[in-house]
Amino acid sequence: MRGWWVLAVLVLGMAGAWANDSSVVGESGRVRRMDGEHATVRMVREWVKVDVYPAYYDVAVQFVFHNQGAATTVRMGFHESGYGDGAGGQETGFQRFQTWVDGQPVKAERLPAKESNIIEEYNTYWVKTVPFARDQTRTVRVEYRSRLGDNTDGERWATYNFTGGNWAGTVAESTLLVTLHLPGSYLINPGQPMMQKGNQLSYRWTNWQAEKGFSVSFIPIRPDALVVRGMHYSDNYLIGEYSRVMVQPGTGPAPLVLPDAINKQGIPFISLQTVADYLNRRRAPGEEPPPPVAHLTWNAATQQATLTVRERCLLFTLKQPVMQVDGCDIPLPAAPFLSTPLAQFGRSTSRLYVPLRPLIDALGSTVKEVNLPERYVAVELK
């Protein structure tokens, strides 16, 4: 597993502030964070633009600082961190880094931070010195390119950490704009509710301490995949409170996960495994999982799947548009089908998909909404 993250930090000589730019001091040739709030320098506003591509992301950040007191000099830095396989040895996740003060390019020195207790992790600062006259306002700009975080499941993510709590007062305004340049079909999870317009996500904070971590993750999915809402359990990535499906022209990478639901010729299908897993994992926060109420079996010889839920037995036959509910035949609008197998962790996996509405009706539950243009199926299971 590998991850990369970055956050802006300001280095204030020997006096402390910990913000989107934060205070650090020298310590035996290394640097470390300092606590406290700067007495006179305030971060007035910041603007963060993140452009996400399949293999990397570009970030442009502009800070406006105002010195409310006597002339002072600060050492400004940008904090870069990484963790996971390959992060040892102070390896950088940045592919480029540039910074400016009032439109003039400034050289930044990359210095290691205090050593982490975790072997596969590093912390460094890109440091520069910036003088402030009395009552002076200065604009600081940082641009960099970073590798995406990733893991073996195919999920990738871009992060930005707002860390502005150690400047004088609050930050009047912070604006975040994320543009996703991802050809193909993806499931997007920004981790918090954000405004979405096309392939752009945005958010704005006002009069705050600017202390917040942001991460947008994405994973390639089938073009016909649907997102199931109302069936929440923690172990399934495809079900998230703020998930979005985004499709842009072009061919993306091959999917590495099997979706919970699929739109096939206008008919929503759902994975039997998804339904069984959900029914067996429902529990209140902090409670132990209850005894399983759903049992799913597959008979390769007869090409049949049996889903038993409490006292009810549902039988599905591959490529046959009919299901048996407690021995009674019920017609289906389309026949169940097996998904194309995916090779994961040295084994081949596939799922059996059945028409959604008849299955939900047979379980005595409801489909609250089927909204295919928006790629969501809202389901309530009892």
Domains of the chain: 2-220 (2.60.40.3680), 260-380 (3.30.457.10)
Contact 285/252 with Cβ under 8 angstroms?
Answer: no
Q: What whole-number percentage of the chain has pLDDT above 70?
A: 77
Average pLDDT, the chain: 81
The answer to whether the CB of 363 falls within 8 A of the CB of 307 is no
3-state DSSP assignment of residue 373:
helix
Q: Helix, strand, coil % (nearest 5) of the chain? A: 5, 55, 40
Rounded CA-CA distance 7/322 in Å is 56
pLDDT of residue 13: 33
pTM: 0.80
pLDDT higher at 168 or 295: 295
Summarize pLDDT for 268-290 with one digit per residue, the tens.
999 999 899 888 875 555 666 67
Could you report the per-residue pLDDT of 104-119, keeping only the tens digit for each?
A: 999 998 888 765 555 5
Cα–Cα–Cα angle for 114, 119, 121, nearest 5°?
A: 60
Q: Write down the pLDDT at residue 214.
A: 87
**Distance, CA of 37 to CA of 22 (rounded, Å):** 9
| Pairing outcome for strands 41-52 and 109-112 | unpaired
Q: Is 187 in contact with 156 (CB distance < 8 Å)? A: no
pLDDT tens digit sequence for 134-156:
999 999 999 999 989 888 778 89
Q: Can you give the pLDDT at residue 306?
A: 98
Q: Which residues, in sequence order, are bridge partners of residue 122?
A: 82
Rounded Cα–Cα distance for residues 90 and 92 (Å) = 6
Say how far apart CA 341 and CA 60 lie, in whole Å.
41
Per-residue pLDDT band for 229 (boundaries 50, 70, 90) equals: confident
| Three-state secondary structure call for residue 215 | strand
Q: Each residue of 284-315: pLDDT tens digit?
A: 556 666 788 899 999 999 999 999 998 899 99
What percentage of the chain has pLDDT greater than the value 90?
41
Residue 133 burial (CB count, 10 A):
11
The pLDDT tens digits for 324-357 are 999 999 999 999 999 988 776 566 788 999 999 9
